[in-house]
C-alpha cells in the first residue's frame, strides 16, 4: 500500500488561497482529499505544507478535519517531501499529488501505483508522456528514490518541483509511463486561474449532488468538459 503526499500552500501566485476556496460548501483541498480516500492503493494521505505563516490557516483547517499535516520549507518542496517521509517513517511507495486537482481520479492514481510496482519501475507517472487531462496528474516513486533525490538534487528548480532530478536527463532510474487512449492531453481540469475554479464549480454542481464519487468518464460526458489546456 502507498502513501500519498499532497503538496499544498496558500501563496499561489496566480490564485492565492485557492486550496481553501469553498467548493460546494467545503474547502477545495478537502473535496480533493475526499476523492483520494476512494483510492484502493492508498493506505495513508498526508498534506505537506510550509512553515510560512501564510499556511497557518491551511494547517489549522486540515488539523480540524483530522488530516495529517507535515510542515517544512516553503520553496524547497523536495526537502519538504523528504522531511515528511522521515518524520512519519515512510517506506515503500509514495504518491506525489498537488492540491490544485479537485477532479483527481482514484482509478488513475491506483493504476499508476500498480504500474510502478508490477513493472518494477523506480518512478511512474502519467505526466511525462501526457495523454490525460491536466489535473489528473500523478507521480509514484519509492521512498528510497525520494531520499536519494533529496541528497543529490542541488538546483533550485529541482528542489522546488520535487521530481525533475528523478526523471530528467541522465536519471539513474527506470521510468514507467501510464498512458491512455484516446489522448486527452489537450484538456485542462486543474485549478491555477479563476476560470479554472469556475469550471470545477460547474462540474461539482452538475455531478456531485447525485453522485459524490463521480468519475472522469462522468466529467467527460458533460457538454462543457472539453476545456483546452491553454484556455
pLDDT digits (tens, 9 = 90+) for 56-76: 999 999 999 999 999 999 999
Question: What is the full per-residue pLDDT of the chain (231 aa) written as tens digits?
Answer: 899 999 999 998 889 999 999 999 999 999 999 999 999 999 999 999 999 999 999 999 999 999 999 999 999 999 999 999 999 999 999 999 999 999 999 999 999 999 999 999 999 999 999 999 999 999 999 999 999 999 999 999 999 999 999 999 999 999 999 999 999 999 999 999 999 999 999 999 999 999 999 999 999 999 998 766 554
Which candidate, 160, 123, 157, places its Cα nearest to that of 143? 123
Q: Tell me: cis bond preceding 182? Omega within 30 of 0 counts.
A: yes
pLDDT number for residue 231: 45
Q: How far apart are CA 63 and CA 29, in angstroms?
A: 13
Report CA 215 to chain centroid distance, whole Å: 17
Domain 2-220 has CATH 3.90.550.10: yes
In this structure, how many other beta carbons lie within 10 angstroms of the beta carbon of residue 90? Answer: 20
Element (H or E) spanning 46, and its range? strand 42-50
* Of the candidates 110, 87, 28, 91, the residue with the CA atom closest to the CA atom of residue 62: 28
CA–CA gap between residue 212 and residue 140 (Å, rounded): 26
Nearest partner of 162 among 230, 102, 73, judged by Cα: 73
| pLDDT confidence of residue 1 | 87
Amino acid at each position: 500500500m502507498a502513501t500519498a503526499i499532497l503538496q499544498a500552500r496558500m501563496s499561489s501566485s496566480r490564485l492565492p488561497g485557492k486550496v481553501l476556496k469553498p467548493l460546494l460548501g467545503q474547502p477545495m483541498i478537502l473535496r480533493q482529499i475526499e476523492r483520494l480516500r476512494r483510492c484502493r492503493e492508498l493506505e495513508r494521505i498526508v498534506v505537506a505544507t510550509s512553515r510560512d505563516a501564510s499556511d497557518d490557516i491551511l494547517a489549522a483547517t486540515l488539523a480540524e478535519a483530522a488530516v495529517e499535516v507535515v510542515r517544512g520549507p516553503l520553496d524547497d518542496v523536495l526537502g519538504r517531501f523528504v522531511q515528511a517521509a522521515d518524520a512519519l517513517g515512510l517506506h515503500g511507495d509514495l504518491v506525489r499529488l498537488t492540491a490544485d486537482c479537485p477532479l483527481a481520479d482514484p482509478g488513475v492514481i491506483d493504476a499508476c501505483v500498480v504500474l510502478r510496482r508490477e513493472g518494477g519501475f523506480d518512478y511512474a507517472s502519467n505526466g511525462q508522456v501526457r495523454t490525460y487531462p491536466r489535473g489528473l496528474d500523478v507521480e509514484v516513486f519509492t521512498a528510497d528514490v525520494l531520499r536519494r533525490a533529496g541528497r543529490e538534487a542541488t538546483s533550485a528548480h529541482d528542489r522546488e518541483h520535487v521530481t525533475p532530478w528523478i526523471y530528467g536527463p541522465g536519471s539513474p532510474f527506470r521510468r514507467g509511463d501510464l498512458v491512455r487512449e484516446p489522448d486527452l492531453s489537450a484538456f485542462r481540469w486543474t485549478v491555477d486561474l479563476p476560470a479554472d475554479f469556475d469550471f470545477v464549480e460547474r462540474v461539482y454542481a452538475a455531478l456531485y449532488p447525485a453522485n459524490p464519487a463521480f468519475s472522469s468518464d462522468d466529467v467527460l460526458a458533460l457538454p462543457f468538459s472539453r476545456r483546452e489546456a491553454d484556455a
